[in-house]
């Protein structure tokens, strides 16, 4: 009887083929542990796995052939391929990667220092950011998908009504002319600051990222600063009976972490999408859009393959991902961040 149900019986070749199939569709946590144990149990297992990978590499070329095209596959499909490197998904840093919608792959063996002509070369796909409006006073509004606003400026105040969705406001300073955002009975008053307002079905959420605001709900006023970042006012539906309406509960103030702010505002900004691009090329793409530059300081990490979707201006999040998942640190040097392996 096979003591480990995750490990198939029979020969090394059969076991290797089974593990390769599992790895191709993605290993569970239990399978990952069993897979590593199987590799450590006998050096022959690793050799059998490499042999199966070579077979799969050849068969991959037949994917392009269909019986409707010809009675036999084109011999060129089975010609010796150029050198290709297999990859496996690193387990470390998956939680952070999921939050950033990121997939990072690395070569199974030590990171190569392959010549440039063997490294994948793909341009980053640029996804434009949300609609961005500059108001008459110089304030800037970024509108999330389907968001709508109405702008009502007078000589005494600047007022914006959020009709639907979510918007982020960067307010131009003018103490004599306050900036007020209305959303379903809630008024957010600011002089010069940055904050978002999200209008939900049952609540209004205010996220303060810079400066301070006053949130006014009926007769109540709540002061918020960047240290107290979120306020939520629940909106009760009108009762169907003739009884007096129950007043809404007081605003709920909640501190949030930088990571939570990052996730809440992930819809902002232009995004860069990478598909199996070497780290050195990803760094070059980030450097096109940022004053603070990244620099790959070691050739051994230049070919770390990166795939995923990043905000073009969020260099810090990208650096944190490299640090937590792959032991690559960023050492400040003036306006540069030098990427190298952690000591």
Per-residue pLDDT, averaged over 128-143, amounts to: 91
**Residues 242 and 140 occupy one common structural domain:** yes
Tell me: do 122 and 139 sit in the same domain. Answer: no
Residues 190 and 311 in one domain: no
Residue 105 lies in a domain: no
CATH of the domain at 197: 2.60.120.1440
120 and 135, same domain (yes or no): no
How far is residue 254 CA from its own chain's centroid? 24
Provide the greatest CA pair distance for the chain: 85
Same domain for 22 and 146, yes or no, is no
Half-sphere exposure of 300 (CA within 13 A, CB side): 9
Q: Is residue 186 part of a domain?
A: yes
50 and 70 in a single domain? The answer is yes
Task: Assess whether pLDDT exceeds 50 at residue 92.
Answer: no
Establish if 103 belongs to a structural domain. Answer: no
**What pLDDT band is residue 104 in, cutting at 50, 70 and 90?**
very low
Is there a single domain that holds both residue 300 and residue 313?
Answer: yes
Tell whether 166 and 243 lie within a shared domain. Answer: yes
Same domain? For 236 and 297 the reply is no
Rounded Cα–Cα distance for residues 141 and 187 (Å): 16
CATH number of residue 287's parent domain: 3.55.50.30
Q: Among 264, 286, 317, give the residue marking a domain's end.
A: 264
Please report, rounded to a whole number, the percentage of residues in the chain having pLDDT higher than 70: 69
Residue 99: inside a domain, yes or no?
no
Model's pTM, two decimal places? Answer: 0.50
What is the DSSP code string of 39-99? HHH-HHHHHHHHHHHHHHHHHHGGGG--TTT-SS--GGGGSPPPP---EEE-STTHHHHHH
Domain edge (last residue) among 240, 264, 288: 264
Q: Is the pLDDT of residue 177 over 70?
A: yes
Q: Is the pLDDT of residue 109 over 70?
A: no
Confidence of residue 266 (pLDDT cuts 50, 70, 90): confident
Same domain, 260 and 280: no
| Residues 41-52: tens digit of each pLDDT | 887 887 887 777
Q: Is the pLDDT of residue 100 over 70?
A: no
Our count of domains for the chain comes to: 3
Tell me: pLDDT of 286 over 50. Answer: yes
Q: What is the per-residue pLDDT across 20-37, written as a single tens digit (0 to 9) for each?
A: 777 766 666 666 667 777
Q: Are residues 185 and 300 in the same domain?
A: no
Q: Of 239, 264, 289, which closes a domain?
A: 264
Question: Based on the domain organization, do 150 and 199 belong to the same domain?
Answer: yes
Residues 174-198, mean pLDDT to the nearest whole number = 91
For 246, the domain range is 131-264
Sort residue 94 into left (φ over 0), alpha (ψ -120 to 50) or beta: alpha
């Amino acid at each position: 009887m096979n003591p480990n149900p995750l490990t198939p019986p029979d020969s090394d070749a059969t076991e290797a083929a089974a593990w390769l199939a599992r790895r191709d569709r993605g290993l569970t946590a239990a399978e990952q542990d069993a897979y590593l144990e199987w590799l450590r149990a006998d050096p022959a297992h690793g050799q059998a796995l490499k042999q199966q990978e070579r077979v799969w590499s050849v068969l991959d070329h037949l994917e392009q052939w269909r019986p409707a095209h010809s009675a036999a596959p084109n011999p060129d499909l089975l010609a010796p391929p150029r050198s290709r490197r297999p990859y496996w998904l690193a387990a470390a840093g998956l939680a952070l990667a999921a939050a950033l919608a990121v997939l990072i792959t690395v070569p199974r063996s030590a990171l190569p220092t392959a010549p440039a002509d063997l490294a994948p070369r793909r341009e980053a796909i640029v996804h434009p950011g949300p609609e961005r409006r500059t108001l008459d006073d110089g304030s800037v509004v970024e509108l999330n998908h389907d968001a709508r606003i109405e702008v009502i400026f007078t000589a005494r105040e600047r007022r914006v009504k959020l009709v639907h969705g979510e918007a982020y406001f960067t307010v131009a300073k003018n103490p004599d002319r306050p900036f007020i955002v209305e959303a379903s009975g809630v008024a957010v008053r600011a002089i010069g600051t940055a904050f978002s307002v999200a209008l939900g079905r049952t609540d209004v959420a205010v996220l303060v990222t810079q400066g301070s605001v006053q949130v006014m709900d009926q007769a109540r006023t709540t002061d918020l600063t960047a240290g107290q970042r979120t306020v939520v006012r629940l909106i009760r539906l009108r009762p169907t009976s003739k009884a007096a309406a129950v007043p809404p509960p007081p605003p709920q103030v909640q501190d949030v972490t930088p990571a939570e702010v990052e996730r809440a505002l992930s819809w902002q900004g232009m995004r860069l999408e990478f598909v199996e691009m070497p780290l050195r090329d990803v760094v070059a793409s980030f450097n096109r859009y940022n004053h603070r530059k990244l620099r790959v300081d070691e050739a051994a990490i230049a070919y770390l393959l990166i795939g995923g979707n990043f905000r073009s201006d969020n260099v810090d999040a990208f650096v944190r991902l490299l640090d937590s998942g792959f032991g690559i640190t960023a050492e400040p040097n003036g306006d540069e961040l030098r990427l190298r392996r952690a000591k």
